[in-house]
Protein backbone atom coordinates (compact mmCIF):
# COMPACT_ATOMS: atom_id res chain seq x y z
CA UNK A 1 0.00 0.00 0.00
CA UNK A 2 1.28 3.47 -0.80
CA UNK A 3 0.50 5.70 2.17
CA UNK A 4 1.93 8.88 0.69
CA UNK A 5 -1.39 10.53 -0.38
CA UNK A 6 -2.51 10.43 3.26
CA UNK A 7 0.74 12.13 4.34
CA UNK A 8 0.31 14.78 1.64
CA UNK A 9 -3.06 15.67 3.15
CA UNK A 10 -1.68 15.62 6.68
CA UNK A 11 1.18 18.00 5.92
CA UNK A 12 -0.68 19.99 3.22
CA UNK A 13 2.17 19.35 0.81
CA UNK A 14 -0.29 20.03 -2.04
CA UNK A 15 0.27 23.75 -1.41
CA UNK A 16 3.63 23.36 -3.23
CA UNK A 17 4.16 26.23 -5.68
CA UNK A 18 6.81 24.39 -7.74
CA UNK A 19 9.22 27.23 -7.05
CA UNK A 20 12.18 25.01 -6.17
CA UNK A 21 13.44 27.15 -3.28
CA UNK A 22 13.69 23.94 -1.23
CA UNK A 23 16.09 22.21 -3.59
CA UNK A 24 17.95 25.47 -4.19
CA UNK A 25 18.47 25.79 -0.42
CA UNK A 26 19.17 22.15 0.34
CA UNK A 27 22.76 21.42 1.51
CA UNK A 28 22.43 17.81 0.32
CA UNK A 29 21.18 18.74 -3.16
CA UNK A 30 24.18 21.08 -3.52
CA UNK A 31 26.63 18.17 -3.29
CA UNK A 32 24.33 15.33 -4.44
CA UNK A 33 22.09 16.48 -7.30
CA UNK A 34 20.14 13.18 -7.27
CA UNK A 35 18.52 14.37 -4.04
CA UNK A 36 15.86 17.02 -4.54
CA UNK A 37 13.13 17.93 -2.03
CA UNK A 38 11.22 19.56 -4.88
CA UNK A 39 11.30 16.34 -6.92
CA UNK A 40 10.26 14.26 -3.91
CA UNK A 41 7.24 16.53 -3.41
CA UNK A 42 6.47 16.62 -7.13
CA UNK A 43 6.72 12.85 -7.44
CA UNK A 44 4.59 12.41 -4.32
CA UNK A 45 1.88 14.70 -5.71
CA UNK A 46 1.76 12.71 -8.94
CA UNK A 47 1.71 9.37 -7.12
CA UNK A 48 5.18 8.39 -8.34
CA UNK A 49 7.12 8.45 -5.07
CA UNK A 50 7.54 5.16 -3.24
CA UNK A 51 8.12 4.81 0.48
CA UNK A 52 10.87 2.37 -0.41
CA UNK A 53 12.76 5.12 -2.24
CA UNK A 54 16.33 5.42 -0.90
CA UNK A 55 16.34 9.20 -1.15
CA UNK A 56 14.02 9.65 1.84
CA UNK A 57 16.93 8.78 4.16
CA UNK A 58 19.26 11.43 2.74
CA UNK A 59 17.35 14.43 4.09
CA UNK A 60 19.23 16.09 6.98
CA UNK A 61 15.94 17.47 8.36
CA UNK A 62 17.91 20.70 8.89
CA UNK A 63 14.86 22.83 8.00
CA UNK A 64 16.75 25.09 5.62
CA UNK A 65 14.05 24.37 3.01
CA UNK A 66 11.05 24.71 5.28
CA UNK A 67 12.03 28.09 6.75
CA UNK A 68 12.32 29.47 3.22
CA UNK A 69 9.28 27.76 1.67
CA UNK A 70 6.75 30.39 0.54
CA UNK A 71 3.93 27.85 0.99
CA UNK A 72 5.12 26.96 4.54
CA UNK A 73 5.49 23.28 3.70
CA UNK A 74 7.24 21.40 6.48
CA UNK A 75 9.34 19.15 4.27
CA UNK A 76 11.35 17.56 7.14
CA UNK A 77 8.07 16.56 8.82
CA UNK A 78 6.79 15.14 5.51
CA UNK A 79 10.00 13.10 5.23
CA UNK A 80 9.75 11.97 8.88
CA UNK A 81 6.24 10.66 8.27
CA UNK A 82 7.30 8.81 5.11
CA UNK A 83 10.21 7.31 7.11
CA UNK A 84 7.70 6.18 9.74
CA UNK A 85 5.75 4.28 7.09
CA UNK A 86 8.96 2.86 5.60
CA UNK A 87 10.26 1.75 9.02
CA UNK A 88 6.93 0.08 9.80
CA UNK A 89 7.34 -1.82 6.52
CA UNK A 90 10.84 -3.00 7.48
CA UNK A 91 12.79 -0.46 5.42
CA UNK A 92 15.45 1.64 7.16
CA UNK A 93 18.23 4.04 6.26
CA UNK A 94 21.88 2.99 6.27
CA UNK A 95 22.85 3.03 9.94
CA UNK A 96 26.23 4.53 10.83
CA UNK A 97 28.62 2.99 13.40
CA UNK A 98 27.10 -0.43 12.65
CA UNK A 99 23.85 0.61 14.31
CA UNK A 100 25.59 0.98 17.69
CA UNK A 101 23.63 4.07 18.66
CA UNK A 102 20.32 2.47 17.67
CA UNK A 103 21.23 -0.54 19.87
CA UNK A 104 22.04 1.73 22.82
CA UNK A 105 18.69 3.52 22.71
CA UNK A 106 16.85 0.22 22.16
CA UNK A 107 18.47 -1.20 25.33
CA UNK A 108 17.43 1.98 27.15
CA UNK A 109 13.77 1.14 26.55
CA UNK A 110 14.29 -1.83 28.92
CA UNK A 111 14.29 -1.95 32.69
CA UNK A 112 18.00 -1.32 33.24
CA UNK A 113 20.11 0.32 35.95
CA UNK A 114 22.42 2.66 34.06
CA UNK A 115 25.65 3.91 35.58
CA UNK A 116 25.89 7.19 33.73
CA UNK A 117 26.61 9.81 36.39
CA UNK A 118 30.14 8.70 37.35
CA UNK A 119 31.57 11.80 35.66
CA UNK A 120 30.11 14.28 38.16
CA UNK A 121 33.17 14.17 40.48
CA UNK A 122 33.21 17.35 42.60
CA UNK A 123 30.26 19.03 40.83
CA UNK A 124 27.36 19.95 43.10
CA UNK A 125 24.07 18.12 42.50
CA UNK A 126 20.98 17.20 44.53
CA UNK A 127 18.76 14.08 44.57
CA UNK A 128 15.53 16.01 44.32
CA UNK A 129 15.04 19.64 43.47
CA UNK A 130 13.59 22.42 41.37
CA UNK A 131 15.97 22.04 38.42
CA UNK A 132 16.82 18.88 36.47
CA UNK A 133 19.85 18.81 34.19
CA UNK A 134 19.14 16.55 31.20
CA UNK A 135 22.68 15.51 30.27
CA UNK A 136 21.85 13.71 27.02
CA UNK A 137 23.96 11.04 25.33
CA UNK A 138 27.42 12.33 26.33
CA UNK A 139 28.35 9.39 28.60
CA UNK A 140 28.00 7.13 25.54
CA UNK A 141 29.50 9.60 23.04
CA UNK A 142 32.55 9.91 25.30
CA UNK A 143 33.31 6.22 24.70
CA UNK A 144 32.29 5.98 21.03
CA UNK A 145 34.00 9.12 19.72
CA UNK A 146 37.15 9.12 21.85
CA UNK A 147 39.22 8.16 18.77
CA UNK A 148 38.35 11.41 16.99
CA UNK A 149 38.68 13.49 20.18
CA UNK A 150 34.99 14.35 20.31
CA UNK A 151 32.04 13.83 22.61
CA UNK A 152 34.12 14.19 25.77
CA UNK A 153 32.40 14.14 29.15
CA UNK A 154 34.42 17.27 30.03
CA UNK A 155 31.59 19.04 28.25
CA UNK A 156 29.03 17.73 30.77
CA UNK A 157 31.43 18.61 33.63
CA UNK A 158 31.77 22.10 32.19
CA UNK A 159 28.00 22.54 31.85
CA UNK A 160 27.66 21.51 35.50
CA UNK A 161 30.46 23.92 36.42
CA UNK A 162 28.55 26.70 34.63
CA UNK A 163 25.30 25.77 36.42
CA UNK A 164 27.10 25.66 39.79
CA UNK A 165 28.75 28.99 38.90
CA UNK A 166 25.26 30.43 38.41
CA UNK A 167 24.31 29.14 41.88
CA UNK A 168 22.29 26.18 40.56
CA UNK A 169 22.61 22.65 41.95
CA UNK A 170 20.63 20.43 39.58
CA UNK A 171 19.23 16.91 39.80
CA UNK A 172 21.18 14.52 37.52
CA UNK A 173 19.73 11.04 37.17
CA UNK A 174 21.22 7.63 36.40
CA UNK A 175 17.81 6.70 34.97
CA UNK A 176 17.78 9.36 32.25
CA UNK A 177 17.13 7.86 28.80
CA UNK A 178 17.95 9.02 25.29
CA UNK A 179 15.48 11.81 24.45
CA UNK A 180 14.32 9.77 21.43
CA UNK A 181 15.11 12.50 18.89
CA UNK A 182 17.09 10.22 16.61
CA UNK A 183 14.69 7.28 16.90
CA UNK A 184 11.90 9.62 15.85
CA UNK A 185 13.80 10.92 12.83
CA UNK A 186 14.78 7.33 11.94
CA UNK A 187 11.04 6.72 11.55
CA UNK A 188 10.88 4.66 14.76
CA UNK A 189 8.02 6.41 16.55
CA UNK A 190 7.34 3.46 18.86
CA UNK A 191 10.83 3.56 20.40
CA UNK A 192 10.63 7.36 20.62
CA UNK A 193 7.41 7.13 22.62
CA UNK A 194 8.86 4.54 25.02
CA UNK A 195 11.96 6.63 25.70
CA UNK A 196 9.98 9.86 26.04
CA UNK A 197 7.48 8.28 28.44
CA UNK A 198 10.32 7.01 30.65
CA UNK A 199 12.02 10.42 30.71
CA UNK A 200 8.78 12.13 31.67
CA UNK A 201 8.28 9.71 34.59
CA UNK A 202 11.86 10.19 35.81
CA UNK A 203 11.69 13.97 35.65
CA UNK A 204 8.25 14.20 37.26
CA UNK A 205 9.44 11.91 40.08
CA UNK A 206 12.37 14.22 40.73
CA UNK A 207 10.05 17.09 41.65
CA UNK A 208 11.72 19.38 39.10
CA UNK A 209 9.78 22.29 37.70
CA UNK A 210 12.46 23.28 35.20
CA UNK A 211 14.64 21.06 33.02
CA UNK A 212 17.83 22.56 31.64
CA UNK A 213 19.31 21.23 28.41
CA UNK A 214 22.70 21.77 26.84
CA UNK A 215 21.97 19.56 23.81
CA UNK A 216 19.89 21.37 21.16
CA UNK A 217 18.22 18.13 20.04
CA UNK A 218 17.07 17.24 23.54
CA UNK A 219 15.78 20.75 24.13
CA UNK A 220 13.90 20.92 20.83
CA UNK A 221 12.43 17.43 21.28
CA UNK A 222 11.20 18.03 24.84
CA UNK A 223 9.86 21.49 24.06
CA UNK A 224 8.19 20.83 20.72
CA UNK A 225 7.68 17.10 20.22
CA UNK A 226 6.93 15.68 23.69
CA UNK A 227 3.80 17.88 24.16
CA UNK A 228 2.44 16.64 20.80
CA UNK A 229 2.48 13.07 22.12
CA UNK A 230 2.01 13.54 25.86
CA UNK A 231 0.26 16.90 26.32
CA UNK A 232 1.22 19.19 29.20
CA UNK A 233 4.72 18.35 30.48
CA UNK A 234 4.34 19.68 34.02
CA UNK A 235 7.77 21.33 33.85
CA UNK A 236 9.47 23.97 31.75
CA UNK A 237 12.27 22.98 29.32
CA UNK A 238 14.93 25.70 29.23
CA UNK A 239 18.13 25.94 27.27
CA UNK A 240 21.28 26.66 29.23
CA UNK A 241 22.30 29.33 26.69
CA UNK A 242 19.20 31.38 27.53
CA UNK A 243 19.81 30.83 31.23
CA UNK A 244 23.49 31.73 31.01
CA UNK A 245 22.91 34.81 28.82
CA UNK A 246 20.45 36.06 31.44
CA UNK A 247 22.85 35.36 34.34
CA UNK A 248 25.65 37.19 32.47
CA UNK A 249 23.43 40.23 31.81
CA UNK A 250 22.61 40.28 35.55
CA UNK A 251 26.35 40.27 36.26
CA UNK A 252 26.11 36.99 38.17
CA UNK A 253 29.07 35.39 36.34
CA UNK A 254 32.52 36.91 35.73
CA UNK A 255 35.13 35.79 33.23
CA UNK A 256 38.90 36.02 32.90
CA UNK A 257 40.40 37.59 29.77
CA UNK A 258 41.89 35.42 27.03
CA UNK A 259 42.45 36.34 23.39
CA UNK A 260 40.71 34.23 20.75
CA UNK A 261 39.09 34.89 17.36
CA UNK A 262 36.16 32.56 16.78
CA UNK A 263 33.28 31.95 14.42
CA UNK A 264 30.03 30.29 15.43
CA UNK A 265 28.06 27.36 13.99
CA UNK A 266 24.30 27.66 14.55
CA UNK A 267 22.99 24.12 15.18
CA UNK A 268 19.75 23.37 13.25
CA UNK A 269 17.75 22.42 16.36
CA UNK A 270 18.95 25.46 18.29
CA UNK A 271 18.75 28.06 15.52
CA UNK A 272 16.17 27.45 12.82
CA UNK A 273 14.02 25.14 14.94
CA UNK A 274 14.20 26.91 18.32
CA UNK A 275 15.03 30.48 17.31
CA UNK A 276 17.99 30.73 19.71
CA UNK A 277 20.43 32.89 17.75
CA UNK A 278 21.29 35.80 20.05
CA UNK A 279 22.03 34.04 23.36
CA UNK A 280 25.18 32.20 22.13
CA UNK A 281 26.40 35.38 20.42
CA UNK A 282 25.78 37.50 23.52
CA UNK A 283 27.67 34.94 25.61
CA UNK A 284 30.64 34.97 23.21
CA UNK A 285 30.66 38.79 23.24
CA UNK A 286 30.65 38.75 27.06
CA UNK A 287 33.91 36.76 27.15
CA UNK A 288 36.76 39.30 27.45
CA UNK A 289 39.29 38.97 24.63
CA UNK A 290 37.04 36.76 22.51
CA UNK A 291 36.20 38.22 19.12
CA UNK A 292 33.33 36.75 17.08
CA UNK A 293 33.46 36.94 13.29
CA UNK A 294 30.44 35.64 11.40
CA UNK A 295 30.49 33.24 8.49
CA UNK A 296 28.68 34.46 5.32
CA UNK A 297 26.00 31.83 6.00
CA UNK A 298 24.97 32.23 9.62
CA UNK A 299 21.87 32.38 11.82
CA UNK A 300 18.84 31.14 9.78
CA UNK A 301 21.12 30.54 6.78
CA UNK A 302 23.63 28.41 8.70
CA UNK A 303 24.62 25.18 6.95
CA UNK A 304 23.95 21.86 8.69
CA UNK A 305 26.90 19.79 9.98
CA UNK A 306 26.22 17.19 7.28
CA UNK A 307 24.64 14.12 8.83
CA UNK A 308 21.88 13.32 11.28
CA UNK A 309 20.13 10.54 13.19
CA UNK A 310 23.17 8.21 12.96
CA UNK A 311 22.38 7.17 9.43
CA UNK A 312 23.32 7.82 5.83
CA UNK A 313 26.70 9.38 6.53
CA UNK A 314 28.43 9.46 3.15
CA UNK A 315 30.98 11.22 0.99
CA UNK A 316 28.25 13.88 0.58
CA UNK A 317 28.27 14.44 4.35
CA UNK A 318 32.04 14.86 4.25
CA UNK A 319 31.75 17.29 1.32
CA UNK A 320 29.19 19.40 3.24
CA UNK A 321 31.45 19.37 6.31
CA UNK A 322 34.58 20.27 4.29
CA UNK A 323 32.79 23.18 2.62
CA UNK A 324 31.51 24.43 5.96
CA UNK A 325 34.91 24.15 7.67
CA UNK A 326 36.52 25.98 4.75
CA UNK A 327 33.87 28.69 5.10
CA UNK A 328 34.70 28.93 8.81
CA UNK A 329 38.43 29.12 8.13
CA UNK A 330 38.02 31.81 5.48
CA UNK A 331 36.55 34.18 8.09
CA UNK A 332 40.07 34.42 9.54
CA UNK A 333 38.92 32.87 12.83
CA UNK A 334 41.17 30.13 14.12
CA UNK A 335 38.32 28.37 15.90
CA UNK A 336 34.86 27.21 14.99
CA UNK A 337 32.65 27.21 18.09
CA UNK A 338 29.77 24.76 18.21
CA UNK A 339 26.94 24.46 20.71
CA UNK A 340 25.76 20.97 19.76
CA UNK A 341 27.48 17.65 20.54
CA UNK A 342 26.53 16.32 17.09
CA UNK A 343 28.03 19.31 15.26
CA UNK A 344 31.21 18.83 17.29
CA UNK A 345 31.41 15.10 16.54
CA UNK A 346 30.69 15.54 12.82
CA UNK A 347 33.10 18.41 12.30
CA UNK A 348 35.87 16.80 14.35
CA UNK A 349 35.39 13.62 12.30
CA UNK A 350 35.84 15.64 9.08
CA UNK A 351 38.83 17.45 10.58
CA UNK A 352 40.46 14.14 11.55
CA UNK A 353 39.88 12.73 8.05
CA UNK A 354 41.25 15.73 6.15
CA UNK A 355 44.12 18.06 6.81
CA UNK A 356 42.31 21.12 8.09
CA UNK A 357 43.82 23.90 10.18
CA UNK A 358 40.74 25.18 11.95
CA UNK A 359 40.17 24.26 15.61
CA UNK A 360 36.72 23.09 16.70
CA UNK A 361 35.75 24.12 20.22
CA UNK A 362 32.64 23.67 22.25
CA UNK A 363 30.96 26.81 23.51
CA UNK A 364 30.57 25.36 27.02
CA UNK A 365 34.26 24.45 27.22
CA UNK A 366 35.17 27.96 26.11
CA UNK A 367 32.89 29.51 28.75
CA UNK A 368 33.75 27.14 31.62
CA UNK A 369 37.51 27.56 31.33
CA UNK A 370 37.07 31.36 31.64
CA UNK A 371 34.71 31.44 34.64
CA UNK A 372 36.31 33.34 37.54
CA UNK B 1 35.99 -2.18 19.52
CA UNK B 2 35.72 -4.82 22.28
CA UNK B 3 37.09 -2.44 24.92
CA UNK B 4 34.58 0.18 23.74
CA UNK B 5 31.68 -2.27 23.92
CA UNK B 6 32.71 -3.29 27.47
CA UNK B 7 32.64 0.36 28.52
CA UNK B 8 29.27 0.91 26.87
CA UNK B 9 27.54 -2.09 28.43
CA UNK B 10 28.87 -1.00 31.81
CA UNK B 11 27.23 2.43 31.44
CA UNK B 12 24.04 0.65 30.35
CA UNK B 13 24.13 -1.23 33.65
CA UNK B 14 24.96 -4.62 32.14
CA UNK B 15 27.67 -6.68 33.85
CA UNK B 16 30.72 -6.47 31.52
CA UNK B 17 31.56 -10.05 32.50
CA UNK B 18 28.68 -11.07 30.24
CA UNK B 19 30.80 -9.98 27.32
CA UNK B 20 33.70 -11.99 26.02
CA UNK B 21 35.90 -11.97 22.94
CA UNK B 22 37.99 -14.93 21.92
CA UNK B 23 39.74 -15.66 18.65
CA UNK B 24 39.63 -19.31 17.63
CA UNK B 25 41.02 -20.68 14.39
CA UNK B 26 39.16 -23.27 12.30
CA UNK B 27 41.79 -25.81 13.33
CA UNK B 28 41.04 -25.41 17.05
CA UNK B 29 37.76 -27.32 17.43
CA UNK B 30 38.53 -28.52 20.95
CA UNK B 31 39.44 -25.03 22.10
CA UNK B 32 36.21 -23.64 20.58
CA UNK B 33 34.18 -26.22 22.53
CA UNK B 34 36.08 -25.43 25.75
CA UNK B 35 35.47 -21.70 25.41
CA UNK B 36 31.78 -22.16 24.59
CA UNK B 37 31.41 -24.53 27.58
CA UNK B 38 33.21 -22.32 30.08
CA UNK B 39 31.42 -19.13 28.94
CA UNK B 40 28.05 -20.91 29.18
CA UNK B 41 28.99 -21.98 32.74
CA UNK B 42 30.00 -18.43 33.59
CA UNK B 43 26.70 -17.00 32.31
CA UNK B 44 24.75 -19.64 34.26
CA UNK B 45 26.66 -18.64 37.40
CA UNK B 46 25.86 -14.97 36.77
CA UNK B 47 22.15 -15.83 36.51
CA UNK B 48 19.46 -14.03 34.52
CA UNK B 49 20.34 -10.59 33.16
CA UNK B 50 18.64 -7.48 34.53
CA UNK B 51 17.74 -6.64 30.95
CA UNK B 52 14.05 -7.33 31.31
CA UNK B 53 11.45 -5.82 29.05
CA UNK B 54 10.22 -2.49 30.33
CA UNK B 55 6.84 -2.63 31.97
Q: What is the pLDDT along chain A (372 residues), one digit of tens a residue?
A: 468 999 999 999 999 999 999 999 999 999 999 999 999 999 999 998 888 888 899 999 999 999 999 999 999 999 999 999 999 999 999 999 999 999 999 999 998 999 999 999 999 999 999 999 999 999 999 999 999 999 899 999 999 999 999 999 999 999 999 999 999 999 999 999 999 999 999 999 999 999 999 999 999 999 999 999 999 999 999 999 999 999 999 999 999 999 999 999 999 999 999 999 999 999 999 999 999 999 999 999 999 999 999 999 999 999 999 999 999 999 999 999 999 999 999 999 999 988 888 999 999 999 999 998
The burial of A315, by beta-carbon neighbours within 10 Å (0-12 exposed, 13-18 middle, 19 or more buried), is given as: exposed
Distance CA A366, CA A334 (A): 14
Q: Alpha-carbon Rg of chain A, whole angstroms?
A: 20
Evaluate whether A317 touches A307 at the Cβ level (below 8 Å).
yes
pTM, rounded to two decimals: 0.94
CB contact under 8 A, A143 and B7: yes
CB distance B11–A110 less than 8 Å?
no
As a CATH number, domain A253-368 is 3.40.50.1860
- A347 Cβ under 8 Å from any chain B Cβ: no
Give the integer Cα–Cα distance in Å for A160 and A164: 6
Q: What is the pLDDT of residue A372?
A: 87
User: What angle do helix axes A240-249 and A154-165 make, rounded to 10 degrees?
Assistant: 40
Which residue of B10, B11, B55 is in closest CB contact with A111?
B55
Which class is A4-88 in CATH? mainly alpha
A107 vs B contacts (CB less than 8 Å): 12, 14, 51
Contacts of B55 in chain A (CB under 8 A): 111
Q: Does A111 touch chain B (CB under 8 A)?
A: yes
Beta bridge partners of A115: none
Domain ranges of chain A: 4-88, 97-244, 253-368
pLDDT given for residue B52 in this prediction: 67
Q: Is A122 within 8 Å of chain B by CB?
A: no
Amino acid sequence: MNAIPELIDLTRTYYCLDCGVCTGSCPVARVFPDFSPRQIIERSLYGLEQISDDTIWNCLTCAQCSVRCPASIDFPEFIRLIRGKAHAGGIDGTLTHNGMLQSIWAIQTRDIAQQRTFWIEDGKTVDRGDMFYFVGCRPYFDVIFRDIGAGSLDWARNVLKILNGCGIEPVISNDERCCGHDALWNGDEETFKKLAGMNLDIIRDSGAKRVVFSCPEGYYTFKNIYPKYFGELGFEPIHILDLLAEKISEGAVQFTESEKVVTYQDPCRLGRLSGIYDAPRNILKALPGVELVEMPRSRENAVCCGTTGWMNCSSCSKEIQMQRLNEAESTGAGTLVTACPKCQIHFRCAKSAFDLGIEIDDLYDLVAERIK
Amino acid sequence: MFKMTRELVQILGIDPDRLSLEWVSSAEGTRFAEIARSFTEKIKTLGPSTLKKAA
